[in-house]
């Protein structure tokens, strides 16, 4: 009897051990695949879109988050094929391919690469033709000095570019070594604000309405809890979708970005955690769905068609000549995070919102759209695609970061992206500041920069 019991116990423990090992391997496998895909896409963009050193990009942007596996992670930049492959000890391989005019795209498994030749983008006229503008005011120069300084080498800011516009003109700018006025920089979630503009353009054209239910085919049934969700709620992030940018390597955001060929199809499967309109939660999947909605409303929904729409309706009128809005393999613009543009381009985008959606006398955004975009959502410091400076108490859920920037005027609103990307818009000062970098630790000094620039404008130094 005892022998039989021991055998049963041993088999049970073996089954538990095997199941546990399989579970751990599945979770670890996803995490390692996410890591290699992150490396491949980032270095593909560095090498072929931004034209900066991919080895340096790996060291500054990727390695700090992967030190435990850095020794085992290898990548190869293939300049002839214009692609990057990454793997961990030869496994969990990832491939990113560059397409002219479209940027880089991750290709998972044996999926085909459509439109691999890309398309020939028509040349644009830049909004700013002058060479790098070195500020004449010593106070502005000092503000840039402090913004590019590294007060804590253990937590580097790695500022890459700053452009300051006052009354629509560049009054100060500076770039890190290897960067310049035409260097494309990853905007991260600045892309959400550009997605806001695309929705605004389609609202102006009468192709979408804010109050309409989100036209997502998977939610067409009246019995689907997603069905009642509106475009307004997706923009405001009170759609009921979960806070998807949480700690840990595998969450809805990272799975969507790095494991899915069709991001919008996956995003549509993410379950609600609240009734639409009742709670705020930061949502990357919501902004990918918005970009899919915009692409469908604008044309046939392919990558080339989507890129032409963005360029013709937004980038070209603004003179954002270098900007690229990347898509996934299914042709969906990654509206949460995948716009690359120069610091000048991002500043010019901010100027559009400072000027109430009008450029050179041409209305790009509907009348009232800018005010809508920075109007408060529930009791948060978020608007609809832009952050506000209206809330002094509390912090962003999950992240624990302040809602606003205390050093800045209350009427300021801004686009914000991971690793210290900012487009600051201060209507009362006729001011736009674009700050781009690779700040892993959150300390960018952006509040001090805003305060220093405003002080310099109010108290210019006499030459």
Same domain membership, residue 396 and residue 343: yes
> Is residue 195 assigned to a domain?
yes
Q: Is residue 116 part of a domain?
A: no
Q: What's the token pair of residue 63?
A: 């390695």
Asked, for residue 123, whether it belongs to a domain, the answer is no
Judged against a pLDDT cut of 50, whether residue 123 lies above it is answered with: yes
Rounded CA separation 111/122 (Å): 29
**Is the pLDDT assigned to residue 114 strictly greater than 90?**
no
User: At 11, is the secondary structure helix, strand, or coil?
Assistant: helix
Angle at 149 between CA 147 and CA 153, to 5 degrees: 130
pLDDT at 248 over 80: no
Regarding pTM above 0.95, the answer is no
Is position 235 within any domain? Answer: yes
Share of the chain above pLDDT 70, in %: 92
pLDDT of residue 118: 56
Q: How far is C-alpha 393 from the geometric centre of its chain's CA atoms? A: 26
Q: Is residue 245 situated within a structural domain?
A: yes
Give yes or no: residues 155 and 295 share one domain. yes
- 310/423 same-domain check: yes
Same structural domain, 100 and 176: no
Contact (CB, 8 A) for 325 and 338? yes
| pLDDT for 117 | 54
Domain identity same for 240 and 355: yes
Burial class (CB in 10 A: 0-12, 13-18, 19+), 112: exposed
Are 206 and 64 contained in the same domain?
no
Q: Return the H-helix or E-strand segment holding 84.
A: strand 83-88
Residue 344 lies in a domain: yes
Q: Is 34 helix (H, G, I), strand (E, B) or coil?
A: helix
- With cut-offs at 50, 70 and 90, classify the pLDDT of residue 22: very low
Instruction: Please indicate, yes or no, whether residues 184 and 70 belong to a single structural domain of this protein.
Output: no
Q: What is the domain extent for residue 55?
A: 2-106
- For residue 129, give both structure tokens: 């033709």
pLDDT at 1 over 60: no
**pLDDT tens per residue, range 208-224:** 999 999 999 999 999 99
Tens of pLDDT, residue by residue over 306-321, are: 888 999 999 999 999 9
As a whole number of Å, the CA-based R_g of the chain is: 23
Q: Is 18 exposed, middle or buried (0-12, 13-18, 19+ CB in 10 A)?
A: exposed
Q: Are 249 and 174 part of one and the same domain?
A: yes
Regarding whether 204 and 86 lie in a shared domain, the answer is: no
Cα distance between residue 265 and residue 267, in whole Å: 6
316 lies in some domain: yes
Average pLDDT over residues 64-90: 94
Domain assignment of residue 307, yes or no: yes
Considering the domain architecture, whether residues 253 and 390 belong to the same structural domain is answered as yes
- CATH at 210: 3.40.710.10
pLDDT tens figures, 143-173 = 999 999 999 989 999 999 999 999 999 999 9
351 in the same domain as 258: yes
How many domains does the structure of the chain reveal? 2
Q: Give me the residues paired with residue 159 across strands.
A: 437
Q: Which residue reads 């009742």 in tokens?
A: 278
Q: Which of 44, 19, 25, 18 is nearest to 91 (CA)?
A: 25
Q: Do residue 437 and residue 328 come from a single domain?
A: yes
């Amino acid at each position: 009897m005892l022998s039989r019991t021991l055998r049963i116990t041993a088999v049970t423990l073996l089954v538990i051990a095997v199941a546990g090992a399989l579970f751990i391997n599945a979770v670890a496998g996803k995490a390692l695949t996410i890591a290699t895909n992150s490396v491949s896409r980032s270095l593909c963009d560095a090498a072929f879109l931004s034209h900066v050193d991919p080895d340096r990009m790996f060291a500054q942007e990727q390695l700090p988050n992967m030190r435990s596996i850095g020794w085992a992670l290898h990548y190869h930049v293939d300049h002839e094929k214009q692609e990057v492959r990454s793997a961990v000890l030869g496994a969990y391989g990832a491939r990113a391919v560059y397409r002219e005019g479209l940027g880089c795209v991750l290709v998972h498994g044996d999926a085909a690469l459509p439109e691999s030749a890309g398309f020939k983008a028509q040349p644009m006229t830049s909004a700013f033709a002058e060479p790098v503008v070195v500020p004449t005011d010593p106070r502005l120069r000092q503000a840039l000095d402090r913004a590019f300084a590294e007060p804590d080498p253990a937590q580097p800011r790695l500022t890459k570019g700053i452009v300051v516009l006052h009354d629509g003109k560049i009054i100060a700018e500076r770039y890190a070594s290897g960067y310049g006025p035409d260097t494309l920089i990853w905007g991260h979630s600045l892309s959400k604000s550009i997605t806001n503009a695309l929705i605004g353009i389609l609202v102006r054209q009468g192709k979408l309405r804010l109050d309409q239910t989100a036209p997502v085919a998977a939610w067409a049934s009246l019995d689907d809890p997603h069905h009642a969700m509106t475009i307004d709620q997706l923009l405001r992030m009170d759609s009921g979708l979960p806070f998807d940018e949480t700690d840990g390597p595998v969450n809805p955001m990272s799975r969507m970005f790095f494991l899915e060929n069709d991001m919008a199809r996956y995003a549509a499967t993410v379950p609600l955690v609240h009734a639409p309109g009742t709670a705020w939660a930061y949502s990357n999947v919501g902004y990918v769905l918005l970009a899919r909605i915009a692409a469908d409303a604008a044309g046939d929904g392919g990558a080339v068609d989507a890129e032409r729409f963005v360029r013709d309706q937004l980038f070209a009128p603004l003179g954002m000549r270098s900007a690229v809005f990347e898509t996934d393999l299914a042709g969906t613009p990654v509206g949460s995070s995948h716009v690359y543009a120069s610091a000048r381009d991002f500043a010019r985008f901010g100027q559009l919102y400072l000027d109430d959606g009008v450029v050179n006398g041409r209305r790009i955004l509907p009348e009232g759209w800018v005010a809508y975009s920075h109007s408060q959502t529930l009791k948060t410091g978020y608007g609809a695609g832009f952050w506000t400076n209206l809330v002094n108490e509390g912090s962003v859920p999950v992240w624990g970061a302040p809602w606003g920037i205390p050093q800045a005027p209350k009427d300021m609103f801004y686009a914000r992206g991971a690793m210290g990307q900012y487009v600051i818009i201060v209507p009362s000062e006729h001011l736009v500041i674009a700050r781009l970098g690779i700040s892993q630790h959150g300390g960018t000094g952006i509040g001090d920069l805003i305060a220093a620039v405003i002080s310099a404008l109010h108290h210019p130094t006499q030459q």
